[in-house]
Structure 1
């Protein structure tokens, strides 16, 4: 019988669920961090408060540095990290009373003094011993030798070193939590020459494979830098821009949720806080009364990143630790840094793809996202596990991918599949006529015989024997067949195209039926053949 064509094209045997796109809110969300100010009446009080904050359960080890000068203290933070110790400040001639009390409160057993007796008097050693505390000194004849002595205590086989000027505390302070987290030493040098102690350290440590130099040639000249192995400069126009450059370079070592803010003009509070910064894996952000825009931007981005990583069911408030009282870091400076603002996706560009049956569609790796602040940018799309492989029939498909931009957002792709040789759908009456007869798989082992009385016989040729199954069949629509017997029923999608019949049994790897006399239940095993691009389908060819 000659089929009459109509203008409705065949749809595929498998479908993808449609999920409406989930877009973020079009308004930006303001993030208010939890501000933790740690301060005291003076630098010694503040260093003690920082120690108690960071080591609430006590600390067997403490690092003791001179509170009147920063030079010997600059390289001490990695050693504090090694011993999991706070850094405490003291006066030169004797222990500052508050420092003494904190050592008692922390139940400290070992103190490492940074610097010689010209910096911290030997009377401090005696005082510590009278408290039942073992005192050890790490020092050299000058600040360069002291830094080298500390470096040797940090590690005996350095692979990375950080080189900073000894003439200013800010660069060493910026790198201190990073060097500590990575357990790498900090080396100090003057502006235009390299001390013998530093030369000897470099020559005796062939394990050094990388030297990070903090500062421009104004801070450390090229003739000094050139003597360090495989050096890389991290520079900036001033201490604040270098601070942000350092933090961005090593952003991956930081915890997302903690940020340190301290004065870029006064060293004592910051030096004490460097040990806590490394303990909680936080960057140190240097500020002044008028912080640069780069500093503000970096601070706000830290808040946004922390908020974005929190639970989607609640607003996550990141923590900011401010070292020093309002005379050192005024509240107005913190307010000026601003609050983070989450910029969300308000709209995604449409994704429309066309292909032909049997050819996998090529989905884009990026889409254009319009952000809530009015800007646009390209964002990556993950289609993993969701893309069409090789659609066998014409039709429209919905494929869902995702982007990760502030939150997980669905990307909807409409895939239009055109049949290479479009085939019109038959009516049920046409199907009932065209399906009558015998159909076989390409290997000849499986046969379907459709009779005009609504009976279907299925024959399966196996090694040494043959199974024959009988059941009833009917059609609910031109692409849906229902197969039943007295105990079960099965509905399957199918496509009838001339002498080709393809049946999909909806994820069931066999068509089940009763054998011969309807009393024995068996199964029609899924045949192996290559005609169908869908592995769970049967393909039969009409033989008469």
Structure 2
């Protein structure tokens, strides 16, 4: 196998033998429902590698023609699939430079006959002259460039390059958006119907001339009135009064994609999956899909489930006992393994579009003792990408929020075989007050004293109306208690003393108490200014003479928390509803 063709076989009750591409006309709707499906993936590491891998799948031998289209913009190449199919040629994507297009040139060097033709779609502003020169250097002299003045003119020139035969049908699609043109490209290519690109509200003169010259008996408009107006439909009616005009459209690109697929491929032999939000893989795959007039079904790469219209299409295939091969155009980052398996399961009837695909676990957070009701419903994701609310039964009727921490509740939903988990995190309430001060951590003795006093207060719980005494709570500052000498204020001087730094603890707590509007019973200022709180906001203590006291004047328990981080001391005061 060529290194640029990477094929992944996914196993989900899936046959791993040689894929069988039965003709759609041979399918017997009265036969037993299939139980296996062939699933392949064609991809590379980039869109250019993927285009080469698709081309290898299209033809691993020699080819007489190849098409080069830019991988950077969709406009010029949208109509190319029809001509590429007529020429039995793969579509390769190129970058803006020859150096960035090694995958395309590698395929050409390996597979294009020496006298073969390279069709370049788009002007030299899109695919530069250096590409012509590189092809000539490789020995390929037959280089045909198809380019008009703009994307519309280019589509006309591609249509004019088709075999000069009476046209039964012409396709009109938007030149401003790619999904609708790509949705119909494999079918139009298989039938030889040119795809003409149109602006929103007026046909270019070249298109009018083409339609008047070819006089098709039918015109198909791919897309809704939001991208191809009814004025254009009226223009076509005026130009071709005998022709029937059919508009194929849905509410979204995915809906229109499936409307087109159901119109032309109700019983496909193979279904190709590609992202609906990028043109490159579907464009390269259009020539491959055209071989048996198979659909390219768009998926949303951001979802693990199918668009609703695609899921319905796969369900109808199951109802009609049609079991096509599934081929992903692009790697798992574009068409995920889950999307492949879910598509297979829908086609095999293992699930329905309205079956539950997933229900995510839930997380919630509440404050301690806050009322919380376990949800009566949970949001379920269906296989058709819809989300619905479904009743849930929990293993407990009441959520406990009395204790700080996390609790896990388990729930069940009818029709869903997995347990749903709700993780409820109970957090401490926000403090009713908080105050911080900074200290010099290089003053080791003072820092140790500060930490010792702050630790003594951490977790202190006061009942409603209870009085607090700093000296009583911290205790006497002695060497036996672990306190060390550091500077203290005595009168109007700083002097060494046991417990220096403790007054910063009492002053920090005092400021938190003031912010909480608690009743201060006793507080003493220093005889000299201190630098850790603003002037007049300090509270000195000296066991047993000077104390700082306050009363819990709330109707709740009051919790004192002290925290030391780096050189910052913080006190937080919390209301608690229980002891």
Interval of TM-score (by shorter of Structure 1 and Structure 2):
0.5 to 0.7
Q: Which has the higher contact order (CA 8 A, sep 6+)?
A: 1
Match of 1:63 in 2: 67
Is residue 84–residue 279 contact of structure 1 (8 Å, CA) maintained in 2? no
Corresponding residue SS for 1:260: strand
Match of 2:119 among 96, 112, 115: 112
Match of 2:58 among 46, 54, 59: 54
Change (3 A) 1:85 1:102: same
Match of 1:173 in 2: 182
Match of 1:221 among 224, 229, 233: 229
Corresponding residue SS for 2:155: helix
Structure 1, residues 317-359: CA drift from partner, whole Å, max 9, x if none? 642110011111111222233342469xxxxxxxxxxxxxxxx
More strand by share: 1
Match of 2:295 among 255, 258, 283: 283
Match of 1:267 in 2: 279
Structure 1, residues 6-45: CA drift from partner, whole Å, max 9, x if none? xxxxxxxxxxxxxxxxxx99xx956332111011110100
Measure the CA separation in 2 of the matches of 1:188 and 1:171.
11
Measure the CA separation in 2 of the matches of 1:94 and 1:199.
37
Match of 2:265 among 239, 251, 262: 251
Measure the CA separation in 1 of the matches of 2:264 and 2:57.
25
Match of 1:158 in 2: 167
Match of 2:108 in 1: 103
Corresponding residue SS for 2:188: helix
Corresponding residue SS for 2:161: helix
Deviation for aligned residue 1:301: 3.6
Match of 1:147 among 135, 138, 155: 155
Match of 2:16 in 1: none
Measure the CA separation in 2 of the matches of 1:105 and 1:250.
35
Match of 2:254 in 1: 240
Is residue 60–residue 110 contact of structure 1 (8 Å, CA) maintained in 2? yes
RMSD: 2.1
More helix by share: 2
Is residue 266–residue 328 contact of structure 1 (8 Å, CA) maintained in 2? no
Measure the CA separation in 2 of the matches of 1:144 and 1:99.
25
Measure the CA separation in 1 of the matches of 2:104 and 2:275.
22
Change (3 A) 1:303 1:98: farther
Structure 1, residues 152-190: CA drift from partner, whole Å, max 9, x if none? 112333231001011111100010011011111001001
Deviation for aligned residue 1:303: 5.7
Measure the CA separation in 1 of the matches of 2:179 and 2:349.
30
Match of 2:197 in 1: 188
Is residue 62–residue 111 contact of structure 1 (8 Å, CA) maintained in 2? yes
Measure the CA separation in 2 of the matches of 1:304 and 1:59.
39
Deviation for aligned residue 1:281: 2.6
Match of 2:548 in 1: none
Measure the CA separation in 2 of the matches of 1:300 and 1:72.
35
Is residue 31–residue 340 contact of structure 1 (8 Å, CA) maintained in 2? no
Match of 2:326 in 1: 320
Corresponding residue SS for 1:119: coil
Structure 1, residues 470-506: CA drift from partner, whole Å, max 9, x if none? xxxxxxxxxxxxxxxxxxxxxxxxxxxxxxxxxxxxx
Q: Relative to structure 2, which stretch is displaced further, 277-286 or 152-161? A: 152-161
Is residue 30–residue 339 contact of structure 1 (8 Å, CA) maintained in 2? no
Measure the CA separation in 1 of the matches of 2:53 and 2:184.
23
Measure the CA separation in 1 of the matches of 2:144 and 2:316.
42
Measure the CA separation in 2 of the matches of 1:303 and 1:112.
40
Match of 1:369 in 2: none
Corresponding residue SS for 2:173: strand
Structure 1, residues 221-280: CA drift from partner, whole Å, max 9, x if none? 11112122332111110111111111111126x7x3211111111111111011110023
Change (3 A) 1:131 1:239: same
Change (3 A) 1:303 1:65: farther
Q: Relative to structure 2, which stretch is displaced further, 286-295 or 135-144? A: 286-295
Is residue 315–residue 349 contact of structure 2 (8 Å, CA) maintained in 1? no
Measure the CA separation in 2 of the matches of 1:249 and 1:296.
16
Measure the CA separation in 2 of the matches of 1:292 and 1:66.
28
Match of 2:37 in 1: 33
Deviation for aligned residue 1:138: 1.0
Match of 2:46 among 24, 42, 45: 42
Measure the CA separation in 2 of the matches of 1:48 and 1:304.
36
Corresponding residue SS for 1:154: coil
Structure 1, residues 452-475: CA drift from partner, whole Å, max 9, x if none? xxxxxxxxxxxxxxxxxxxxxxxx
Measure the CA separation in 2 of the matches of 1:187 and 1:135.
23
Measure the CA separation in 2 of the matches of 1:81 and 1:274.
9
Deviation for aligned residue 1:139: 1.1
Measure the CA separation in 1 of the matches of 2:128 and 2:50.
22
Change (3 A) 1:58 1:126: same
Measure the CA separation in 2 of the matches of 1:87 and 1:303.
32
Match of 1:208 among 201, 211, 216: 216
Match of 1:488 in 2: none
Deviation for aligned residue 1:146: 0.2
TM-score, normalised via structure 1 length = 0.54
- Show the 5 A alignment for 1:363-402: none
Q: Could you list the runs of 5+ residues in structure 1 that have no partner in the other structure?
A: 1-23, 309-316, 344-544
Measure the CA separation in 2 of the matches of 1:264 and 1:287.
6
TM-score, normalised via structure 2 length = 0.50
